[in-house]
Amino acid sequence: MADDKSNAAAYWKANLRLITGCLIVWALASYGGAILLRPLLAGISVGGTDLGFWFAQQGSILIFIGLIFFYAWKMNRLDKQFGLGE
Amino acid sequence: MSQFAINVLFVGGSFAIYIGIAIWAKAGSTKDFYVAGGGVHPITNGMAIGADWMSAASFISMAGIIASAGYGASTFLMGWTGGYVLLALLLAPYLRKFGKFTVPEFIGDRFYSRSARMVAVICLIVASLTYVIGQMAGAGVAFSRFLEVDATTGLIIAAIVVFFYSVLGGMKGITYTQVAQYIVLIVAYTIPAVFISLELTDNPIPPLGLFSDHTASGEPLLDKLNEVVVALGFNEYTAMVDNKLNMVLFTLSLMIGTAGLPHVIMRFFTVPKVADARWSAGWALVFIGLLYLTAPAVASMARLNLVTTIYPDMAAQVENYEDAVANPIAYADRPDWIRTWEETGLISFDDKNNDGNIQLYNDATDYSDRGWQGNELVVSNDILVLANPEIANLPGWVVGLIAAGGLAAALSTAAGLLLAISSAISHDLIKGAINPKITEKGELRAARISMSVAIVVATYLGVNPPGFAAQVVALAFGIAAASLFPALMMGIFSKRINNKGAIAGMLSGLIFTLVYIFVYKGWFFIPGTNNLEDSAANWVLGISPLSIGAVGAILNFAVAYMVSSATEEPPQHIQDLVESVRYPKGAGAAIDH
C-alpha cells in the first residue's frame, strides 16, 4: 500500500514537472515572443515582417498544437511507466 | 440557376444532412443525452469541439476584426487557441476521470456544497445564454443576406432545425451534427481563402501566402499592406501596440475564459478514456487551427484587396503614394459586390466632397490638402468573410457554400451552448436539488423540456436582443475566467481548498469582474448607467473591462487560498476524491455511475 502511495506521488510529481515545462513554453510563445519580447526580436525578419508578428498570428498557434500532442504523448508514457493507465 | 436557388440548395442540403443525423442518433438514455453514450472517438470529438467552439464570431467577424486592427487583434488568435493548452494540461483529463455529466456537478461534489454547485449553475447559465444570443442573431443575419427572408423568420427557421436535432438526440445528436457542421464550415472558409491567396501571392496555402511576396507589386505582402494603409493615414498593419499590459491581460482572459467555458469542457466527457481526452484536445486544436491559421491571411489579403479595389493605382508597385491615392474609382463604377452589400446596410457610402469618387481613409488624419472631406465608405467588419467570394469573383456555388458555412458555425455553437444550459437545469437544478428521486426516464424528459425552453428563450432574445447580448467577450469570457476556471483548477490541483474557500473565491472573482465591467459599460449594461466613460484614459492601470477576467481569476485564487488556510481541511473522502481524479486508472468504469 505504501508502495502504491509513493508510486502515485511520484507519478503526480512527474506530471506537475511536465505541466510546468509545457506552460513555460506556452507563455514564452504567446506573451513572450508575440507581445513582451517583440521589440527585442524586431531585427529578425520573417516574410516581410518581424518574428514577433509571426508568433502573434501564426507561430503561437502552431506551438500550442505541438505542445498538446507532446503532453498527451508524454503522459501516455508516464501512465504506462507507473502502471496507472487504463 | 440563380444565386438565390444555389444558396437555397446549399443551405437546404446541409440542413437535410443535420436532420438525417438527428433521426439516426436519437438519445435513448440520460447518458446518451448528456455525454453521447461516452464512446466518442477522440478525432471525432476533436472535430465536434472545433464546430462547438468556432462560433458565428470566429467564422464571420474575426477576420474582419483582424483586418481593421492588424497586429493588435492577434489577441483573439492567441486567446481563443491558447486556452486549449490550459484545457489539455489542467482540466480536461481530470474532469473526464471524474466521470460525471456536468461542470457544476464536479464543483458541487469536490467542494461538498450545494451552494457552490448553484453558484456554478448561475455562472454557466449567464455565460452560455449571453453567448447563444449572438449565435442566433448571427444565424438570422446569414439567413437574411443569403436567403432573402427577414432576420426574424431566418432566426425561427434556425431555431426549428436546432430544436430537431438537439431535443431528439441531446449530446449524441449534437456530436455527429457538429462533425458534419465542422466539415461544411471549414470547406466554406478555406476555399475562398485559397483563391484569394492564389490571386494575390500565387501561393495556394493562405498561411504561407501571408508571409510571401505580393505578386502585383513584387514586395512582401505585409510590407505592401503597411505602405498602402499608411498612405491612407492608418497605422502600419503590423504596428506594435502601446499598452502591452492590457494586451497580455486581454489574451490571458480569453485563454482562461476559453478553458472555463462549460459547453467546451463538457465535450471532453464524451470520450471513453482519460488518454482520449488528452488526444481529443490536440485534435480539436488542429481542426480549430485550420481556421485560425487561415483567418489572419484572409484578413490582410482582403484588406489589401479592398483598398486596391478603391485605389487601382496602388495595386502594382508604387513610386509615389501621393499620386497613387489621387485616382480612386468613381462611385458609379463600383463593383457589383459593393452594390449587393449596400442593400444590407453593411456597406454605406456618403459623398462628402461631392466629387463622385470614393475616398476610403482614416478620418482622424487631415487630408483636406488632397480635397478630402472625410471617409466616405463605411465597411462593416462582418462582411469581409461573407463577401470574400464575391470580392474574388468566385463562382456562385462558393457563395452558397459560405452561406451554409456561416450557418453551420452559428448553429453548431448554439446547440452546444443550449445543451450546457439544459443539462445544468435538468441535472444540477432538478436532479441535484429540487427532486433527487427523479427516475432516469423522468430526467431524460426534464432534459428535453429544458432544452426546448432554452431554445425558445434564446430565439426570443435573438429577435429582441437585450443590452448584454453584445458583451459576449466581456461577460461570457469574464465570468468563465474569473469564477469557473479557478474553481475547477483548484479542485484538481489542491487538496486543501475547502467549500468555504471555493465559494468565497468564486464569488469574489465574479463580483469583482462584474463590477469593473458595469462601472464602464453600465450597470447590467443599461445605457447611461456607467460611472466612468469606457475609454483607455479612465481604465485602472490601462486595463480594459474586456481584460479584467484575468485579474478576477487571480483574485479568486488568492481569496480561495486565504479562506481555506484559515478554516478546516476538507474531509478525508474529498481528499480521496481529489487523489482519484489525478490518476487515469478506472475512467472507463467511472462514467457508469
The per-residue pLDDT string of chain B (593 residues; one tens digit each, 9 = 90 and over) reads 788 899 999 999 999 999 899 888 888 899 999 999 999 999 999 999 999 999 988 898 899 999 999 999 999 999 999 999 999 999 999 999 998 899 999 999 999 999 999 999 999 999 999 999 888 888 887 887 788 888 788 889 889 988 888 898 899 999 999 999 999 999 999 999 999 999 999 999 999 999 999 999 999 999 999 999 999 999 999 999 999 999 999 999 999 999 999 999 999 999 999 999 999 999 999 999 999 999 999 999 999 999 999 999 998 888 888 888 989 999 999 998 899 888 878 899 999 999 999 999 998 999 998 989 999 999 988 888 888 888 878 888 888 899 899 999 999 999 999 999 999 999 999 999 999 999 999 999 999 999 999 999 999 998 888 877 778 888 899 999 999 999 999 999 999 999 999 999 999 999 999 999 999 999 988 888 999 999 999 999 999 999 999 999 999 999 999 999 999 999 999 999 999 999 998 776 555 44
Cβ contact (<8 Å) for A19 and B292?
Answer: no
- Chain A CB within 8 Å of residue B583 CB: yes
Cβ contact (<8 Å) for B77 and A61?
Answer: yes
Distance from C-alpha of B434 to C-alpha of B307, rounded to nearest angstrom? 60
Q: What is the pLDDT of residues A10-43, one digit of tens each?
A: 999 999 999 999 999 999 999 999 999 999 998 8
- Chain A CB within 8 Å of residue B82 CB: yes
Query: What's the pLDDT score for residue B501?
Result: 97
- Chain A CB within 8 Å of residue B292 CB: yes
- In angstroms, the separation between the Cα of residue A68 and the nearest Cα of chain B is 5
- The full set of domain ranges for chain A reads 30-61
Contacts of B292 in chain A (CB under 8 A): 61
Contacts of B71 in chain A (CB under 8 A): 53, 56-57
Distance from C-alpha of B278 to C-alpha of B88, rounded to nearest angstrom? 6
Contacts of B89 in chain A (CB under 8 A): 19, 22-23, 68, 71
Query: What's the pLDDT score for residue B85?
Result: 98
Cβ contact (<8 Å) for B211 and A48?
Answer: yes
Q: Which residues are B94's β-sheet partners?
A: none
Please provide the DSSP assignment of B436-486 as one string: TT--HHHHHHHHHHHHHHHHHHHHHHHHS--GGGGGHHHHHHHHIIIIIHH
Do residues A48 and B248 make contact, with C-beta atoms less than 8 angstroms apart?
no
- Chain A CB within 8 Å of residue B19 CB: no
Give the three-class secondary structure for B182: helix
If you search the block for the grid coordinates 498538446, which residue do you land on? Answer: A68
Distance from C-alpha of B91 to C-alpha of B268, rounded to nearest angstrom? 10
Q: Are strands B377-379 and B347-349 parallel, antiparallel or unpaired?
A: antiparallel
What radius of gyration, in Å, describes the C-alpha atoms of chain A?
18
Q: List the single residue in A12, A39, A48 with the smallest CB-CB distance to B223.
A: A48
H runs (alpha helix) in B266-374: 274-310, 321-324, 336-342
Q: What is the pLDDT of residues B346-393, one digit of tens each?
A: 899 999 999 999 999 998 999 998 989 999 999 988 888 888 888 878
Do residues B188 and B404 make contact, with C-beta atoms less than 8 angstroms apart?
yes
Contacts of A36 in chain B (CB under 8 A): 244, 248
Distance from C-alpha of A2 to C-alpha of B389, rounded to nearest angstrom? 66
CA neighbor of B483 nearest in space, from B193, B281, B260: B260
What nine digits make up the cell of B445? 424528459
Q: What is the pLDDT of residues B163-191, one digit of tens each?
A: 888 898 899 999 999 999 999 999 999 99
Do residues B180 and B21 make contact, with C-beta atoms less than 8 angstroms apart?
yes
What nine digits make up the cell of B176? 455527429
Contacts of A66 in chain B (CB under 8 A): none
Q: List the single residue in A31, A57, A86 with the smallest CB-CB distance to B587.
A: A86
Write out the E strands in B324-448.
347-349, 377-379
Query: What's the pLDDT score for residue B143?
Result: 81
Distance from C-alpha of A47 to C-alpha of A65, rounded to nearest angstrom? 22
Cβ contact (<8 Å) for B77 and A57?
Answer: yes
Cβ contact (<8 Å) for A60 and B248?
Answer: no
Cβ contact (<8 Å) for A47 and B222?
Answer: yes
Residue intervals of chain B classified under CATH 1.20.1730.10 are 3-303+393-590
Contacts of B247 in chain A (CB under 8 A): 35
H runs (alpha helix) in B102-220: 103-110, 114-146, 151-201, 206-209
* Cα–Cα distances in angstroms (integers) from residue B229 to residues B68, B204, B234, B386, B556, in the given order: 10, 25, 5, 22, 43
- In angstroms, the separation between the Cα of residue A3 and the nearest Cα of chain B is 15
Q: What is the ipTM of this complex?
A: 0.97
Q: List the single residue in B89, B220, B255 with the smallest CB-CB distance to A47.
A: B220
- Chain A CB within 8 Å of residue B581 CB: no
What nine digits make up the cell of B548? 479584467
- In angstroms, the separation between the Cα of residue A24 and the nearest Cα of chain B is 11
- Fold entry, domain B3-303+393-590: Sodium/glucose cotransporter (1.20.1730)
- In angstroms, the separation between the Cα of residue A52 and the nearest Cα of chain B is 9
* Cα–Cα distances in angstroms (integers) from residue B50 to residues A61, B171, B206, in the given order: 14, 15, 20
Contacts of B293 in chain A (CB under 8 A): 58, 61-62
Cβ contact (<8 Å) for A46 and B211?
Answer: yes
- Chain A CB within 8 Å of residue B575 CB: no
What nine digits make up the cell of B576? 480521496
B345: left (phi over 0), alpha (psi -120 to 50) or beta: left
Q: How many CB atoms lie within 10 A of CB A47?
A: 17
Q: Residue A54 is which amino acid?
A: W
Q: What is the pLDDT of residues A57-82, one digit of tens each?
A: 999 999 999 999 999 999 999 999 99
What radius of gyration, in Å, describes the C-alpha atoms of chain B?
25
Q: Exposed, middle or buried by CB within 10 Å (0-12, 13-18, 19+), for B573?
A: exposed
Write out the H or E segment, with its range, that includes residue A50: strand A49-50
Q: List the single residue in B82, B210, B238 with the smallest CB-CB distance to A64.
A: B82
